[in-house]
Structure 1
């Protein structure tokens, strides 16, 4: 999926706070609850003038509250501040509707595969 990034701040729902961390060249946006637990998070890395968004997740107890939307808007805002013009991501079936509602466009379907680490039991 792709989108042209736009700047704009994200406001989390009441009792939630946005935290931003930069780990090496990766921007991590987290939404934490009143106890400090991570309720939702996502990552952004630069690839040329594009930003790659990955690992967007919302904890089951915090779903359906707009936290994924808050994470995505926060990452988009930071991408524009860092000079990234557009974004790319691979969406899961669960995330596709959220991304579409934010203006992301499906470019091609992708099949996912999981390769276990060496020595890990096959399930």
Structure 2
């Protein structure tokens, strides 16, 4: 009878260790996925920020050039502003196809790729 009790205690100990290890693995996997998503988004954010600075100064240059061509500097800025309002309207009309869906797909792709990689690491 004592042998069964010892075996049962060992089984409970192993089950407890397994559950603790599974919880730790889940936590580490969640942290890894979150860090990967945030780092990928951070890289994209920095690149977008640098491109915004580039386009900001490029647009000022274009506005001044157009203003000199149109003989009033502020006309160039009006033309550039009009161009951007047209782009804004375009993005408002097609926001799901151009912004929402690609960003969602990016996050899903990173999450699923990490999940796929995690299953290989466990094996």
Q: Give the shorter-chain TM-score range.
A: under 0.3
User: Between Structure 1 and Structure 2, which shows a larger proportion of helix residues?
Assistant: 2
User: Between Structure 1 and Structure 2, which shows a larger proportion of strand residues?
Assistant: 1
Question: Relative contact order, CA 8 A, sep 6+: which one is greater?
Answer: 1
Could you state the TM-score of these two structures normalised by the residue count of structure 2? 0.21
Could you state the TM-score of these two structures normalised by the residue count of structure 1? 0.21
